[in-house]
Amino acid sequence: MDKGHILIVDDEENILSSLEGILTDEGFSILKAKDGAEALKMIKSGNPDLVLLDIWIPGLDGIQTLKAIKKIRADLNVIMMSGHGTIETAVRATKLGAFDFIEKPLSLESVISTVRSALEHAKSVQETPAVSNIETEEIIGNSSAILDVKRLLKTASVCSKNILIQGERGTGKEFIARAIHLQCPRRDMPFIKINCSALKDEEAEDTLFGVKSSSKQGGQKGRIEQAEGGTLFLDDIEGLSIKLQNKLIKIIRDKKFKRKGDRRFIPLDAGIIASSNQALADEVKKGKFKEGLLNLLKEITINLPSLKDRIEDMSELVGYFIKYFNVEYGKRIEKIDDDAVEILKNFDWHGNAKELKNVVEHIIMTVQGNTITSKDVSAVLPGIPVKGRSALFDGYSSMEEAEKAWETEFITHHLKKYNWDIAKTAVSLNTDRTNLLGRLKRLEIPISSPFINEGKTGFVLQKTLKRSVVLCGQGLHSGLKTGLILSPLPPNKGIIFGDISSGETVPANLDYVQSTDYATTLKSGMTSVKTVEHIMAVLHMYGITNLLIKIGDEVPIMDGSAADFCQLIEDGGIEEQDEVVEELIIVSKYTIGDIPEHGQEQVSSGRYIYIEPSERFSVHYSLDYPSPIGRLEYAFTANGKEFFKNEIAPARTFAFIKDYEKLEEMGLGSGGKLSNVILVDNEKVINTPLRFNDEFVRHKILDIIGDFYLLGRPIRGRITARMTGHTENIALLKKIKEQKPNATTDYTD
């Protein structure tokens, strides 16, 4: 006998196979998904009884997927799984409605026990009338169309008529249905939703009407019976087959139904609300919907307006969503400027209010500061139609200002087209190089001068990943199981770390450096991210400029190098974007420490780091430790990601045995293992063969490459350092930023 349908969501094939084997042996039917989006489709199209959901999955992470599941089916129990979770994550998941949290590696007894408990709990909830846990939310807006909806909703809530809600996708039909339920006399009884378009003919009757019990096997309550005393919501009712429509006509008219295989009638005691994306009267004319069923359902009809038909509600809707997601993501966005609202008003919202809500959520997740601007909105919207672009120019007070804005956009378009090649761009615009440079200066389009004469520019294309990828491991200093989910971001968003538990974010920026003790730590508000230097080094050398990195407190140490992060980026695939980022071109010398006189570098015993002008990014590092390390030096020049991947990324963290006591006193190093650091005593390396004879100095260069990407853009300059660490790296970055914020000079011809 089938004991129930269980959906397993995990991106690891071995976990999916193992759980499928365990649960199939126990008599369960299994569905499998490898990411959150696929899982949500299965939940909408199928009818699982339970979900096993891993936290560290690509795209929508486990926490986001849990939230989405609860919006689709609040009654569906979800068991969270993670081998890389924390108590905070488990608490967060529980608050969001997870039934339980189990750790990997999974115990056979634990899995079976927790699954049985979750299914028993679900069964008891279905059989015992319970107070609905749906939150009440106000209907936002005061347009005439919405005022009509509010009036009809009030009427529908106080009478016992059947209700039909019609409207385009995303207009909020389920929201209105739940609002009616919460305001009617049946509010304390179940609200049962049936997705009619997802019902398969061979299973539909069992799902709707249930199955008769027998001596050999237990009976099954159908969704109609589960709604007893409450509200039955028939979503997308136009998706029902003609056969089921005919049965439904008889059931609604006679107010009784039978389970499959049973002769006994069961009274229909539930309020009926149906919804449709189509005008059902038109579907009747096409022969696709029964007129008799339409007449039974439309005792009260509520037609929901599209977003374009209630555009005057835009400001109120956006303001509401901002408040909602401020709470969700721990943000403090105070307002959205008028130009940004105007762009939203003119956008073609095929997905209506639901699409608007998703866009505002995306903006809230990534925006910095407390105001949403037109630039923030434009970066998220999938292309602004011509009528929407006009809003960008509403702030200009004269023809001269508007012409300047148009000319800037026109020239920038051609610069991008020719990869910021000044000579080719000038030819394409039928002008000469001198004239074009003059226009660039007048329009304040920043082109850095040191390399213009050589046919080079100070701009590179922005890049992100093509798809989300996941990597799990352990934190070096915290000792906690942790992981990374890398997700693409639109242009001009930068590198952002996000706490997978709270949703709060920390920009990968010098201004947010909290600590440099043994590693670089970023902090914003209550959220901190430790040991960021290795992943930042890889992003620097692979040219990734826009990325959301979801994390659990600390970047995993892996084998102590950056090799796994290189592979992770390549697994995700690199996507060039339509925007460019200006390189930070060093034109002066900046120093920290006692710099030796020229020619004395080889005999210096000082500790220093400095950067000076150069055509490329390069690092020359020297160190001088007692045996067994000795004196080492290495010069690295950025000659493409392959050279970095092969010669620098594999270099591992090293540590002296004597330093572990200090680390323990500081509460660090708890995750240090023989497999993820090079351990050195007074005589030798004690735990591993070296990957390079000079691996120690190569790792120091790896750290510098990572720290220097905290300036937020690629760098051109030559770094020379001796015996320095994260503290000196950050001090030099601050000096560069304070003394020369742009680190570039004005260009001249």
Specify the pLDDT at position 619.
Answer: 97
Residues with Cβ < 8 Å from 570, sequence gap 6 or more?
A: none
Structure tokens at 363: 């903006």
Domains assigned to the chain: 5-127 (3.40.50.2300), 144-303 (3.40.50.300), 307-393 (1.10.8.60), 399-445 (1.10.10.60), 463-582 (3.30.230.20), 584-739 (3.30.1700.10)
Q: Using alpha carbons, list the distances in angstroms from residue 486 to 63, 483, 744.
A: 15, 10, 32
Most confident of 10-24, 130-144, 414-428, 673-687: 10-24
Confidence of residue 659 (pLDDT cuts 50, 70, 90): low
Enter the tokens of residue 437.
């440079």
665-694 average pLDDT score: 74
Q: How far apart are CA 122 and CA 116, in angstroms?
A: 10
What are the backbone angles phi and psi of residue 608, rounded to the nearest 5°? -155, 165
Dump pLDDT digits (tens) for 271-327.
999 999 989 999 999 999 999 999 999 999 999 999 999 999 999 999 989 988 887
Q: Answer yes or no: are the C-beta atoms of 325 and 503 closer than 8 Å.
A: no
- Pairing relation of β-strands 210-211 and 220-221? antiparallel
Report helix, strand or coil for 389: helix
Q: Which of 181, 534, 699, 726 is catalytic?
A: 726
- For every residue of 140-205, DSSP letters joined together read P--SHHHHHHHHHHHHHHHS---EEEE--TTS-HHHHHHHHHHHSTTTTS-EEEEEGGG--HHHHH
Q: Cβ-count burial of 369 within 10 angstroms (0-12 exposed, 13-18 middle, 19+ buried)?
A: exposed
> Percent of the chain scored above 70 by pLDDT?
84
Element of type H or E holding 94:
helix 87-95
d(CA 477, CA 648): 22
Q: Six-digit token pair at 218? A: 């237990």
Sequential DSSP letters for 241-293? -HHHHHHHHHHHHHTEEE-BT---EEE--SEEEEEESS-HHHHHHTTSS-HHH
pLDDT in the model for residue 564: 92
Residue 73, pLDDT score? 83
Tokens of 403: 């012409």
Number of Cβ atoms within 10 Å of the Cβ of 95: 8
Where is pLDDT greater, at 552 or 512?
Answer: 512
Contact 232, 270 (CB under 8 A): yes
Question: What single-letter amino acid sits at 624?
Answer: D
Residue type, 622: S
* 620 catalytically annotated: no
> Predicted confidence band at 494 (pLDDT cuts at 50, 70, 90)?
very high
- Per-residue confidence (pLDDT) for residue 661, from 0 to 100: 56
In the predicted structure, residue 125 carries a pLDDT above the cut 60: no
Q: How many CB atoms lie within 10 A of CB 175?
A: 16
pLDDT tens per residue across span 705-714 = 999 999 988 9
Distance of CA 180 to CAs 190, 270, 598, Å? 13, 13, 81
DSSP character string of 544-572: ---EEEEESSB-B-TTSSSHHHHHHHHHH
Please identify which residue in the block is written with the tokens 């555009």.
311
Q: Please give the biggest Cα pair distance in the chain.
A: 101
Residue 713, SS3?
A: coil
- Cα separation, 258 vs 268, in Å, equals 10
Average of per-residue pLDDT across 654-663: 67
pTM value is: 0.57
Nearest CA among 496, 485, 497, 530 for reference residue 663: 530
Q: Give the pLDDT of residue 273.
A: 95
Q: Please give the full DSSP string across 657-698, using - where no structure is assigned.
A: TTHHHHHHHTT--TT--TTTSEEE-SSSB-S---SSTTHHHH
The answer to whether residues 206 and 220 touch, using CB atoms and an 8 Å cutoff, is yes
